[in-house]
Chains A and B, each alone.
Chain A
Amino acid sequence: MRNGLRQSMAWLHSWAGLVAGWVLFCIFMTGTATYYRADVSRWMRPELPVVQQVPTPDDLARAAETAVAHLKGAAPNAIAWYVTLPSAADPAVALMWFTDFALPPGTARLDPATGGPPAVRETFGGDFFYRFHFELNLPSTIGRWIAGICAMIGLVTLLSGIITHRRIFADFFTFRRHAKSAQRSWLDAHNVAGVVAIPFHLMITYTGIATLALMYMPWGVLTAYKGDAMRFYGETGQITAPLAPAGKPGTLAPVGPMVRQALERVSEPLEMVIVEMPGDAKSKVVAVFEEPHGLSHQHPQVAFAGATGTLLQVLNPNLKPASKTFTTMVGLHEAHFAGPALRVLFFLCGLTGAAMVGTGLVLWSVARLPTPGAAPFFGLRLVRVLNLGTVAGLPAAVAAYFLANRLLPVGLGARADWEVGVFFAVWILAAVYAALRPQASVWREMLAACAALFLAVPVVNGLATGRHPLASVAAGDALYLWFDAAMLALAGLFAIAAYKAHGVEAPGRRRPQAVAPLRRNALEQA
């Protein structure tokens, strides 16, 4: 088998990468934005004060009571209520409840002081990017399966890419900007983006699949636990022991005292209160705390009997090796442990991942450029439009989402949905534009549009909220300064890309060459 393995892996790499590339690019982009989920959420609620008080135990107890009062009216027969308590990042109480796990959950946000809606504009904030990066704004089961399948294809693409790329060390630092063929430069860029952060790419792909492992691979739980996932989770020590429902109605004891008691037992900040089967006589109230500083994603939990308020269990996770491996994978994926400096590195690695996928997609079409004068075949035209719509369209949609947050009227009904609507409207518009414009100039036009949109974000923000950089300096508002700086940096990045993109995919910058052995040529001419 002369050269067989490397060639078959190269084939697999380019086609698997193409099939999943567009979804993976979206996952990498929005997932990377999720490293700043709380900051984005805060920026998108400009009514919040610059500095928020850390809630006291009394505040938390009262907020939990307010939430339960609301939920008793809104969803008395729910399977479970999830109450995210106020924090220094977000002063509102966020409610979520399931009446049927097959249906989307109900949600609401309350001002803990009044019990009414918070005096803050309605938005999904950074949660939109978070949910999009593994559910793609689809019904959750379908979205998670698509994301998981694409992640698996991504893992295969990464591994086959490593096997194909035999000069990993020799080419480690090589990016020939002025190579004779455009394909050469794109290949260099793709290699550098992939290889430089390869530990991150492998880690984030595998741990991403692992976070939803039991959904994708339920066969262990099905055989060893007869499908009883709750008993499995309980035995791993990740959740408090499950209670069987009594089947007769009961009343919930006041949750305020339970919250106070839980706070006395755990020193971490309290994040959430879960009420399981709130209408049942055997209901359970669980106080879930933030993870202690560590790689592993383990939440300390305190469980109470809902009807009486008596303490059932204090769960201070002390997991066994396999479970610990799982929670460490989840922890690494989420990077909650990363302080500001390390977070920047994770963010850059995420961008590198998006760049790896994006350059790979472009490389596919550059490598199949028709000889000058020949018309591109249908598949190539399709790939080009999808590439443009994804690589240039998604960033434009992200910028538009931020702009919509500042420009839509604050009192607009279903405002949060409108913001998402603007996101998708701009994205679809970008794809249509990509399909209609000539290939020679469309990259430049669309990248320039991205630059303009990101530049518009700090400008519009300054005009709409008055919190421009000078005001932010005066108020000591680091978040707004950083956000403006990040938007300007992105605008600059897209402006440079637009400047460089001139004629990138136009015929003529590449020597005429047979299409078939392109991979081998590209790799072996190095």
Chain B
Amino acid sequence: MTPIVLLANLALSFAALAALCLSMNRHHAAAFTAKPSRRTMLGLRAAGWAGIALCFAVAVMAEGWNFGPVQWLGSLSGGALLVVALASYRPSWIRPAALLALPLALVAAFTL
């Protein structure tokens, strides 16, 4: 059970943090060679925070109030490490990787 939940959490937090990362001028420019428009920026930021909240909900629903928050924080750290690695070495991969992570999270959530 737990590894699947963790996978869903990791994928979700990765996608959420990738959105937050891309909402920032510097990283957006590195990935797309241009700064984001204000609307894009706000949209990405909203999506990112929503993803983090959703991640928390998934963790708590699947693991309970004891383990859920632990797993949520753990997966946020793990996801952030991945985003930082991509942002420093392959910024153009962030978007495709995040778009790939979303269905992965969905599949993992449905096999629960």
Binding site for B on A (CB under 8 A): 170, 172-177, 192, 196-197, 199-200, 294-295, 332, 337, 339-342, 345-346, 348-349, 352
Known A173-B87, A339-B3, A341-B3; judge A346-B74 contact (CB<8 A).
Answer: yes
Question: In the docked arrangement, what's the CA distance between A294 and B76, Å?
Answer: 21
Query: Considering the complex of A and B, which 10 residue pairs feature the smallest CB-CB distances, nearest first?
Result: A341-B3, A175-B88, A197-B77, A345-B74, A196-B80, A199-B73, A173-B21, A341-B6, A173-B87, A339-B2
Closest A residue by C-beta to B94: A173
Closest B residue by C-beta to A188: B88
Question: In the docked arrangement, what's the CA distance between A339 and B17, Å?
Answer: 25
* Selected contact of A295 from candidates B66, B78, B88, CB within 8 Å: B66
Across the interface, do B84 and A342 meet the contact criterion of CB distance under 8 Å?
no
Give the secondary structure class of B's interface.
Answer: helix
Question: In the docked arrangement, what's the CA distance between A294 and B75, Å?
Answer: 19
- 1/0 per position for B1-30, CB-CB distance to A under 8 A? 011001100000000010011001011000
Known A295-B66, A341-B6, A345-B6; judge A192-B84 contact (CB<8 A).
Answer: yes
CB distance from B83 to the nearest CB of A (A): 6
CB distance from A336 to the nearest CB of B (A): 13
- Total interface residues on B, using CB and 8 Å? 27
Known A175-B84, A199-B73, A348-B81; judge A340-B66 contact (CB<8 A).
Answer: no
Note all chain A residues with C-beta closer than 8 A to B78.
345, 348
Across the interface, do A196 and B84 meet the contact criterion of CB distance under 8 Å?
yes
Across the interface, do B26 and A345 meet the contact criterion of CB distance under 8 Å?
no
Question: In the docked arrangement, what's the CA distance between A196 and B75, Å?
Answer: 11
Note all chain A residues with C-beta closer than 8 A to B21.
172-173
Across the interface, do A332 and B70 meet the contact criterion of CB distance under 8 Å?
yes
Across the interface, do B3 and A349 meet the contact criterion of CB distance under 8 Å?
no
Across the interface, do A196 and B6 meet the contact criterion of CB distance under 8 Å?
no
Q: Within 8 Å of chain A (Cβ to Cβ): is B67?
A: yes
Q: In the complex, given contacts A173-B27, A341-B2, A342-B6, what are 4 additional A-B residue pairs having Cβ atoms less than 8 angstroms apart?
A: A170-B24, A175-B84, A197-B80, A348-B78
Closest A residue by C-beta to B5: A341
Note all chain A residues with C-beta closer than 8 A to B26.
174
* Selected contact of A352 from candidates B67, B77, B88, CB within 8 Å: B77
Question: In the docked arrangement, what's the CA distance between A59 and B84, Å?
Answer: 51
Most buried by A among B66, B73, B77, B89: B77
30 contacts between A and B (CB under 8 A): A173-B17, A173-B20, A173-B21, A173-B24, A173-B27, A174-B26, A175-B88, A177-B89, A192-B84, A196-B80, A196-B84, A197-B77, A197-B80, A199-B73, A200-B74, A200-B77, A295-B67, A332-B70, A339-B3, A340-B3, A341-B2, A341-B3, A342-B2, A342-B6, A342-B74, A345-B6, A348-B77, A348-B78, A348-B81, A352-B77
Question: In the docked arrangement, what's the CA distance between A428 and B106, Å?
Answer: 52
Note all chain B residues with C-beta closer than 8 A to A199.
73, 76-77
Closest A residue by C-beta to B72: A199
Question: In the docked arrangement, what's the CA distance between A175 and B73, Å?
Answer: 21
Across the interface, do B77 and A345 meet the contact criterion of CB distance under 8 Å?
yes
Note all chain A residues with C-beta closer than 8 A to B27.
173-174
CB distance from A171 to the nearest CB of B (A): 9
Note all chain B residues with C-beta closer than 8 A to A332.
70
- 1/0 per position for B83-110, CB-CB distance to A under 8 A? 1100111000000000000000000000
Note all chain A residues with C-beta closer than 8 A to B87.
173-175
Across the interface, do B2 and A196 meet the contact criterion of CB distance under 8 Å?
no
Across the interface, do A295 and B3 meet the contact criterion of CB distance under 8 Å?
no
Note all chain B residues with C-beta closer than 8 A to A175.
84, 87-88
Q: Which of B48-75 contact A (CB under 8 A)?
A: 66-67, 70-71, 73-75
Question: In the docked arrangement, what's the CA distance between A106 and B39, Å?
Answer: 69
